[in-house]
Amino acid sequence: MVTSPRPETPAGPAIARRAVLSGAAALGLGALVAACAPTPSAPPAPTAPGPAPRPPADQLRARFEATAKELTTPGAVMLVRSPAGEQSATYGFRTVAGTEPITLADHARIGSVTKTLTATCILQLAQEGRVDVGAPVSEYRPDVPNGKNIPVSRLLEMRSGLYNYSESLELNKSLDENPGKVWTPEELLALAYQHPPYFPPGTGYHYSNTNYVLLGLIIEQLDKKPLAAAYQDRLLTPLNMQETSLPPADSVAIPQPHPHGYQYGTNVATMNGEGLPLDQQPAAFAGRTKPNDVTDENPSWTWAAGGGISTIANLATWATAMGDGTLLNPTWQRRRLESIQPIDPANPASLGYGMGIAKFGPMYGHTGELPGFQSFCGYDPDKKIALAVWANLNAAPDGRAVASTIAQQLIGTIYG
């Protein structure tokens, strides 16, 4: 069982399965970076301003459908939004054995894309002078171990060193044995604090949901309202994102219409990697082994790190706002984008991560994963292209993150 980090590799952050975005980071983000970079050893080149590429809709649809089918996801949705218009497609059904097709209006859990909402709220508080991202987190949460040496910015950047509670055996056993449990933020932090840090603050990178639970609590403390209300007032209402929400901790409901969400294997069995054992993969790819329906498992353990729900159109709207700085002033938007640094200093082409935002070639954005769903949203501010994808299977039988893999293929098609 994973109780300490695996060695990091140039392909992406080495993190355990229960990190909400774990498979997306290790398999999806790393693959996207590799696909978009000009060479394996060089960072992605900036996109030159000019007309946005617009591949034929049938070409995008064919690549989307072929990849979704290959990955065995029951359903998936994609949307490309650019100055030339929108191109969208749906694939499959809301359930494994069902007949109701996925639609563009369907809602899905967006996992760690939620982190980008949390980070944007923190950066808004910073530009309002209400939080200092350079100040130690102990000024806001005195209970954080070594908090006097952890700047708030290190939480945003995943460089705090704080243990990721999602990697604990205790949490994963609970998700399997008591999937309806309602987790509180304080319980999640208590899990994290039982383990030593991965490294001294600022000396490494390790994806940790603990960072974003802390940031969510700081937002509630300073805004004096629940995190869901802060999202609504600061982000969702200004962008007219009426189909996006952070549900109450005791709710497993997803707004209608929505698909069921699926996962291969159990949480404990897949702690060390998303894929099924090699001898079980052929049956899953052939359709003889079906994924588990995990729609009604309580996602309260994700909260500010991954509890959001959205639609494909809202995801594209959010990707655009995140990439063009609609909700931040120019100074803070520039600071956010400039915060992106390779997670492996020895490999400039490794995944770049910053203040709640990542970079994949020409696109800024994030991926998200939790049992049952996987998502991607990104925006190219030069070409003004937004791409959003979600699927109702978090990982293929071989461990590939579904929406991230589809997005990789679509980015390759869009940019040639």
pLDDT in tens, the chain (416 residues): 222 222 222 223 323 344 433 333 333 444 444 333 322 222 333 444 556 676 678 999 999 999 999 999 999 999 999 999 999 999 999 999 989 999 999 999 999 999 999 999 999 999 999 999 999 999 999 999 999 999 999 999 999 999 999 999 999 999 999 999 999 999 999 999 999 999 999 999 999 999 999 999 999 999 999 999 999 999 999 999 999 999 999 999 999 999 999 999 999 998 888 899 999 999 999 999 999 999 999 999 999 999 999 999 999 999 999 999 999 999 999 999 999 999 988 888 888 999 999 999 899 999 999 999 999 999 999 999 999 999 999 999 999 999 999 999 999 999 98
333: enclosing H helix or E strand: helix 330-338
pLDDT value, residue 49: 54
pLDDT value, residue 19: 44
| Entry pTM | 0.90
Total Cβ atoms within 10 A of residue 234: 18
Which residues on adjacent β-strands are paired with residue 308? 111
d(CA 67, CA 408): 10
Tally of CA atoms within 13 A in the half-sphere of 376 that contains its CB: 37
Q: Structure tokens of 327? A: 């909700």
d(CA 100, CA 75): 10
pLDDT value, residue 50: 59
Query: How far is CA 374 from its chain centroid?
Result: 8
Phi, psi of 193 (to 5 degrees): -70, -10
Phi-psi region of 150 (alpha: psi -120 to 50; beta: other; left: phi over 0): beta
pLDDT value, residue 46: 40
What are the b/e assignments for 252-284, b being 16+ CB within 10 Å? Answer: eebeeebbbbbbbbbbbebbebbbbeeeebeeb
Q: Do residues 68 and 406 touch, judged by C-beta distance below 8 A?
A: yes
Q: Do residues 351 and 14 touch, judged by C-beta distance below 8 A?
A: no
Q: In the chain, what are the domains? A: 22-415 (3.40.710.10)
pLDDT value, residue 109: 98
Q: Which of 222, 225, 236 is nearest to 327 (CA)?
A: 236
pLDDT value, residue 128: 98
pLDDT value, residue 51: 64
Under DSSP, is residue 224 helix (H, G, I), strand (E, B) or coil? coil
Which residues on adjacent β-strands are paired with residue 386? 81, 379
Q: Which of 370, 360, 346, 369 is nearest to 411 (CA)?
A: 360
pLDDT value, residue 349: 82
Q: Do residues 311 and 243 touch, judged by C-beta distance below 8 A?
A: yes
| Radius of gyration over every alpha carbon of the chain, rounded to an integer in angstroms | 19
Which residues on adjacent β-strands are paired with residue 369? 374
pLDDT value, residue 166: 97
